[in-house]
Structure 1
Amino acid sequence: MKTHSFHLCLTSLAFLFVTERLTADWPQFRGPDGQGHSAEKGIPIHWREGENITWKTAVPGQGYSSPVIAGNQIWMTSSEDEGKSLRAVCIDKTSGELLHNVEVLTPEEAGPHHRLNGYASPTPVLDGKHAFVHFGPRGTACLGIAGKVIWKNTEFKYNAFQGAASSLILHGDLLILTCDGTDKQFLVGLDKHTGKTKWLQPRAHLERADASAQRAISRMAYSTPLIQAVNGKPQLICSGAFHSAAYDPANGKELWWFPYTGFSIVGRPSYGNGMFYIVGSIRQDHFCIFAVRPGKGELREDQRVWQFSTGIGHVPSPILIGKEIYVVHDGGVAACVDALTGRELWRERLGGNHDASPVEIRGRIYF
């Protein structure tokens, strides 16, 4: 068995996972609101070895999931034995001590993955009493905060040939999965207490994917949904291949949708100013932000307020801050766009490569 480790540094910056609104928790991918915002005070803008680093600890295995925080626990996922041992890892937030390293699933076949992906990429989600972990078609599980596995579900099979990436989200007692494989595309609502299926909704509007020159893979996507109340009613917004759609999270029924061209969408949607800001594409691998007003059925042209497609990254999600939306391209160029009109306000090269999504803390953006 091959065993590797990666490193997690808890710095003062890592307290970007803290917000006053949810009592110092950062329980899901992109934080409490799912959009990358924190109101925490006293976050530094410089850190290095010996400065603003509280502790550093090795984490067993290999993993690409983001760490999530509830109370004094930090959870993430990892893999060992070349993907045949899928694990949930828990670290003490105060000391950096390894609390739990639980083998959750042991698939006979690890499955394929992209060279920039791994076997443990979807980010866990926490509710204060449980940690929910997901490994795409290999399965999903719930653990208690003491590290005991409560349930597992391995019934949803689909071909994620580049590896899994869409993260879990919670809505009340529902745990929602996004499964956009090359062969099957669907969303699932599980009872978070039992892991049993409450609803399953197949994707629609994929006819143009079958006409794509890359038909064999043209139905796949990797985005994480966002739940947002619209006129007092929650809507589940999820980008997929060749379209994005809103669903009723209570039963999975589609509410509205709009088309675009392309697949392999990654960015998570944002909401503000009465609009959803959704990452899609105008042609394959040319990604775009669409600003849309929610409606019913296929959105009208006047509900598609603007689109912006210059330098939109494949992997990093945009971040909406008031009436401005910020993006960073995978190649290291950042830009600011007027969120009401779609007009570019500025563009600047940061340098390096950027796969992580930016975070905003009290008016500062951390790329």
Structure 2
Amino acid sequence: MLFGGLAAAWATDWPGYRGPTADGRAPQSCQPPTTWSEQENVRWKVRIHGKGWSSPVVWGKQIWLTTADEVKADKAPPPKKGDPPPNPVARVSFYAVCVDRETGRILYDLRLGTEENPAYCHPFNSYASCTPYVEAGRLYAHFGSHGTWCVDTNSGQVLWERRDLPCNHFRGPASSPVVYGDLLYLIFDGFDQQYVTALDKRTGKTVWKRNREIKYSTDNGDYKKAYATPALFVVEGRPQLVCPSAECTIAYDPQSGEELWRISHGGMNGAARPVMGHGLLYLTSGHNARLLAIRPTGRGVLGESAVVWRAGKGVPTRPSLLLDGDLLYMVSDQGIASCLDARTGKVYYSERLDGEFSASPVWANGFIYYCSQNGKTFVVKAGREFVLEAENRLEDGFMASPAVSDDSLILRTRTHLYRIARP
């Protein structure tokens, strides 16, 4: 059983990364279009300034997303061996933007903070890649170690901020915040240190912090990085906060931070969020592209006996998995879309889509939506056979994952936000 924070109040709500159940599934009542273009089924389109790959979130009539404005630096000296390239950014400003769901009008464009000489962020990434979390009256905008802000969504006022949570992301931040009860959970898996922390969402104060304490196979901090978002599940009546990292995945008690179990799988730079069903937890390992289905019922270090099945072909490092009943869907970074039997790992199909992928797929009304970096969205019928229902394209391409709001898709390209809906 999965609970991604708090259940959304209406089918319009998509409160955090991967939606109301945190697994990419829209409510059954949602029926968004399967076809669109720049001229068809576009209710509105609005330009978003700056650069940000965070996914849009929706609460009621508000759509929120984050972005960052960069000021380029003068030419910097060459880096020392082992250091990242010289940072081309001299100053970065962090924003939370609110758009009216009905009209596309920008309601708030809030500059939350500015940082001089920020840590390096790889051009493929952005300073605003962490998807915010929204609930009634509150937005939690997270930019990794650059800062976390809580905003009153009715007034646009900042209620609290934290800019003292250190981590050298080395290539920029990407892990998104998660809310459960009164706690806000954040993962920091960086070059220099790796930890998970829980903040009181009302005040921003630290409730607990746990270092990862992973015995890495290398001293190279570049191989200790990860970008995954935590997931919350109930296993045998007990909540678990499952937090993937480089080389292993660790589960914690969400209230106390006590470590419950860990499992080694190798890899680094993992960004995919775990999903769960049939008593199995499905997780990926990062750059070495392994998919594991495990039973998360043990304590301490889980061994091979916890692994029910594994796969090694077409496994993503960036897009998250999608579970629909007995079927597990995924798309690799290189565009291989696969459907597997969730109980056994049997592959039903593996088909190449055009382009590369960073966005995670979503399910709505019996269809899977895959959004590529070149701007194409492939709409595939859910099922054991590959049936391409439609192929649609928007300008500028997708890094952010879609949101589903009632009968609309909220799509963020590199430059614009769209509401896709029938007339």
1:46-125 → structure 2 map (5 Å cutoff): 46-82=35-71, 83-125=91-133
Structure 1 residues 23 and 311, CA gap change in structure 2 (3 angstroms)? closer
Q: What are the Cα deviations for residues 296-336 of structure 1, in whole angstroms up to 9, with x where unaligned?
A: 11113221111111011221111111111111111211111
Q: For 1:251, what is the secondary structure of its paired residue?
A: coil
Instruction: Name the amino acid aligned to 1:366.
Output: Y
Aligned to 1:201: 210
- Structure 2 gaps of 5+ residues are 1-6, 72-90, 371-423
Which stretch of the first structure deviates more once superposed, 223-232 or 63-72?
A: 223-232
Could you tell me how far apart the structure 2 residues matched to 1:116 and 1:44 are? 30
C-alpha deviation, 1:276, in angstroms: 0.6
C-alpha deviation, 1:209, in angstroms: 3.7
Could you tell me how far apart the structure 2 residues matched to 1:148 and 1:187 are? 27
Aligned to 2:279: 274
Structure 1 residues 114 and 33, CA gap change in structure 2 (3 angstroms)? same
Cα pair 2:278 2:343 within 8 Å, conserved: yes
Aligned to 2:25: 37
C-alpha deviation, 1:252, in angstroms: 1.1
1:299 and 2:302 aligned: yes
Could you tell me how far apart the structure 1 residues matched to 2:70 and 2:289 are? 35
Q: What are the Cα deviations for residues 59-113 of structure 1, in whole angstroms up to 9, with x where unaligned?
A: 2222110000001111111111335211111101010000111111111222211
Alignment partner of 1:322 out of 318, 322, 325? 325
Alignment partner of 2:250 out of 221, 245, 248? 245
Which stretch of the first structure deviates more once superposed, 93-102 or 336-345?
A: 336-345
Alignment partner of 1:159 out of 161, 168, 171? 168
- Structure 1 gaps of 5+ residues are 1-18
Could you tell me how far apart the structure 1 residues matched to 2:253 and 2:346 are? 32
Identity of aligned residues (%): 39
Runs of 4+ aligned residues of structure 1 deviating over 3 Å after TM superposition are: 19-23
The alignment yields a C-alpha RMSD, in angstroms, of 1.5
Q: What are the Cα deviations for residues 154-183 of structure 1, in whole angstroms up to 9, with x where unaligned?
A: 111110011000000001010110000010
1:26 and 2:14 aligned: yes
Aligned to 1:263: 268
Aligned to 2:85: none
Instruction: Name the amino acid aligned to 2:152.
Output: G
Cα pair 2:194 2:212 within 8 Å, conserved: yes
1:232 and 2:237 aligned: yes
Q: For 1:106, what is the secondary structure of its paired residue?
A: strand
Cα pair 1:280 1:288 within 8 Å, conserved: yes
Structure 1 residues 20 and 158, CA gap change in structure 2 (3 angstroms)? closer
Aligned to 1:148: 157
C-alpha deviation, 1:124, in angstroms: 0.2
Aligned to 1:127: 135
C-alpha deviation, 1:149, in angstroms: 0.7
Aligned to 1:14: none
TM-score by length of 1: 0.90
Cα pair 2:268 2:288 within 8 Å, conserved: no
Cα pair 1:209 1:242 within 8 Å, conserved: no
Structure 1 residues 87 and 21, CA gap change in structure 2 (3 angstroms)? closer
1:168-187 → structure 2 map (5 Å cutoff): 168-187=177-196
Alignment partner of 1:347 out of 347, 350, 356? 350
Which stretch of the first structure deviates more once superposed, 159-168 or 230-239?
A: 230-239
Could you tell me how far apart the structure 2 residues matched to 1:22 and 1:249 are? 26
Structure with the greater relative contact order (CA < 8 A, sep ≥ 6): 1 or 2? 2
Could you tell me how far apart the structure 2 residues matched to 1:267 and 1:61 are? 25
Q: For 1:245, what is the secondary structure of its paired residue?
A: strand
